Chains A and B, each alone.
Chain A
């Protein structure tokens, strides 16, 4: 059972995650964006229309009321004047009674302006209404009273309480009642509660109608977005499947609308891609087939030539000097031809995409030792020392040993060939993610820009150089392909006169992405000796 604190924390976490989830949903759902935008725009429009409409209705209602009220009160004023004119002004009681009676008569006269109350004030005694005592508490706005006292007919809207009842919005029409017995103020009070109730009802109706409208528009927006988005989602799904290799997947075409055009175009594109992919596959198969055929067709005569050359070479001591030399040349060139053919076939296998990685866990130190052992004889012939810098720990990585061995052999033989007899250093290192092997020579080095060129097919450092160890010119190209097959890097560094360093970096676990190398590409001593930037 979670404690309240924990539950609160979980709730807080959910609340904190909610905006992120909402944002995510907002970003991902086109339909949601369409619905929300439609609803917002529609709400704004409905509010504006509603406000304007209600304002207009209110004004019209008020105008009608005021017109009727003014007509009513003007009528009443004339009646009151006629009543007061007939009064003998000697007796004050008579005046009071007449005023009271007149007020009652005025209040009883109905009219198109609806219910109303009538109050009469004596101008000379402004605090209390002289007629209708019950209207004691009535507070007529002072500016209205000022207008009336000045002899002007006027009206005003105010919230007043009559007889201690709930204050209501009331239309007050004031009229100066002048007679020979004195000046009075006649007020007609038209409570607007009926109109207010009507307006409230209308407002409620408009509000409800607006809400329904917004909901309907939102629903329509959602439905339309759904109609539009569903085929788009279908298209996305189909495209994803297509990309995943299901080349025969197509969209369903319904009708002749824009969506149908999209589906048709998509299908056309898919068909075109499919045919091109199939064509490429076909070409690739043909290429592989051709390579295989060439392999056989070239190798059979080469075998014969090779055996014949070997036979002649074996008997060369019995031949005259020139013929013996010819036998030697034949032997050497057949060897070169053979490695050239082997390299060409290897690289065409890469070009055809037929090369496959066969990774297994291997100790790169052991692999390097094997290469050193295999190239020791070549190095000794050139008078080159091979120096290995390694660690006590195994340098384990998932590699295709045959290919990595070929790369390292290539690099070492190259370094020996270009190392001018100076020592060649091989370093091995590993960290958690990558393993690296560097091969460093101290020979003529590389000219600027050559560090990338060295990997080009048939590229040679110096065209005038003799082809010392019989390289085919394809070795580094094949090594680069081998490195790429591992998801690895093969890079070169070189400075004129400072020698060169080649670095192979491979991921420790096959298939992982490389981000760095445990060994530097540029050797520390290289820059120091060259006095270059640090």
Chain B
């Protein structure tokens, strides 16, 4: 399992503690304490996952998140002290795949990290189609009329989950369980934000989606071919 984790956190004690926990779980942590240097360290380390504190000196966590997302699809987990709607949604919209609210238990954090790193481990040859898109599951590619569309692993998994059962309506809770690996109730805003992000990449007109459809009051389902 890939295990390089970049910890972007300005609190040295927390960063060190995160290091201890990650190392004890077999990951390879590296650290950066301020937002301005975060991007260059990210380029040097080429981590498999980023743990990002939202409140950073220099650039804000949101900016760092956006900068990393603009050049990489690496999973990003935000560490946030705020559970207020705006901050979480803003973080997710700027590209984070998941978030953990401080104070979290080490097990909880490790579970979230593993869930993100587990993505795309499938080796079965499988080809799916959803709407007018073709999905090559082991190859991790999505194409429309032969042209590839770049998706993050999370967005890819979300699309695959919907495409595998084209007739099923997925509730947000079910998607949280299948895509994010949450075993108990979690924040359904994760689903809403990522469906929006996914649509902005795969839909011809994100305002009138044809690939990922909303079922009012229930959830989402795949659009008809």
Contact = CB atoms under 8 A, between A and B. Distances in A.
Interface of A: 292, 295-296, 299-308, 310-311, 338
Nearest to B14: A304
A67 B116 CA distance: 130
Given A303-B79, A304-B13, A308-B17, 19 more contacts: A292-B84, A296-B55, A296-B81, A301-B11, A301-B13, A301-B14, A303-B17, A303-B102, A304-B14, A304-B17, A306-B104, A307-B17, A307-B20, A307-B21, A307-B105, A310-B105, A311-B20, A311-B21, A338-B103
Interface of B: 11, 13-14, 17-18, 20-21, 24, 55, 79, 81-82, 84, 102-107
Nearest to A349: B84
Nearest to B107: A310
Contact of A306 (B24, B82, B103): B103
Nearest to B10: A300
15 contacts: A300-B14, A300-B81, A302-B103, A303-B17, A304-B13, A305-B103, A306-B103, A307-B17, A307-B18, A307-B20, A307-B21, A307-B105, A307-B106, A311-B20, A311-B21
Given A304-B14, A307-B17, A308-B17, A299 B81 contact: yes
Nearest to A300: B11
Q: Which of B17, B21, B79, B84 has the most CB of A within 10 A?
A: B17
Nearest to B53: A300
* Chain A to chain B: the 8 pairs with minimum beta-carbon distance, closest first: A296-B81, A299-B102, A303-B103, A299-B81, A302-B103, A303-B102, A306-B103, A304-B14
Contacts of B103: 299, 302-303, 305-306, 338
B102 A300 contact: yes
A314 to B, nearest CB: 8
Given A292-B84, A296-B81, A300-B14, A306 B105 contact: yes
Given A306-B103, A338-B103, A311 B24 contact: yes
Contacts of A292: 82, 84
Given A292-B82, A292-B84, A302 B24 contact: no
A303 B82 CA distance: 13
A25 B20 CA distance: 81
Contacts of B11: 300-301, 304
Contacts of B106: 307, 310-311
Contacts of A311: 20-21, 24, 106
A131 to B, nearest CB: 120
A302 B14 CA distance: 9
A338 B81 CA distance: 13
Contacts of A307: 17-18, 20-21, 105-106
Given A292-B84, A295-B81, A296-B81, A303 B104 contact: yes
A311 B105 CA distance: 10
A79 B24 CA distance: 157
